[in-house]
Amino acid sequence: MFTKVELILMAQQVTHTAIALAIFSFYLLDFALNALQASLRNLLLDITPHNQLNAGNAWHGRMTHAGNIVGFGFGFLPLANLPVLRWLGGDQFRKFCVVAMTVLVVTVWVTCYCHEEKERMKAAKTAESKFFTMLRNIQTSILTLPKPIRRVCYVQVFAFMGWFPFLFYSTTYVGQVMAYEHNKEPNKDVATRKGEFAMLIFSLVAVAAGTVLPQLATRDQRLFLEPSPENGDEFAYYHGISRQWRVEAERQGKPLRLPAMPFLLRDIWTVALVLFTILTFSTFFVSTVVQATIVLGFVGICWAVAIWVPFALVMEFLKELETPDLPPSQDRPLRRQYSSATQSSLPPRQGSSNERQPLLIPNPGDPEPVPIAGGTVLGIHNLSIVFPQLIIALAASLIFRIIDGPAGPDPSHENTYLGKNGVAWVLRFGGFCTFMGAVIARRVPPTRTEKQIRRALNIIREIEEHGGA
pLDDT of residue 349: 39
Q: Is the pLDDT of residue 341 over 80?
A: no
Half-sphere exposure of 347 (CA within 13 A, CB side): 10
Largest Cα–Cα separation, the chain: 103
Higher pLDDT: 437 or 413? It is: 437
The mean pLDDT of 446-457, rounded to a whole number, is 83
Q: Is the pLDDT of residue 106 over 60?
A: yes
- 139-198 pLDDT, tens digit per residue, is 776 777 888 899 999 999 999 999 999 988 998 999 999 998 888 888 887 888 888 889
- Report the C-alpha gap between 16 and 157 in whole angstroms: 32
Higher pLDDT: 272 or 413? It is: 272
What does the mean pLDDT of the chain come to? 76
- Report the C-alpha gap between 335 and 349 in whole angstroms: 17
- 388-404 pLDDT, tens digit per residue, is 888 888 899 899 888 88
What Cα–Cα distance (Å) separates residue 108 from each residue in 51, 432, 448?
A: 27, 36, 34
pLDDT of residue 115: 73
Exposed/middle/buried for residue 445 (C-beta within 10 Å: 0-12, 13-18, 19+):
middle
Higher pLDDT: 309 or 14? It is: 309
Higher pLDDT: 216 or 142? It is: 216
Instruction: Collapse the DSSP code of 447 into the 3-class scheme (helix H, G, I; strand E, B; otherwise coil) and give the result.
Output: coil
- 20-74 pLDDT, tens digit per residue, is 888 888 778 877 877 777 777 777 777 776 666 767 777 777 777 777 777 777 7
Exposed/middle/buried for residue 137 (C-beta within 10 Å: 0-12, 13-18, 19+):
middle
The mean pLDDT of 305-311, rounded to a whole number, is 90
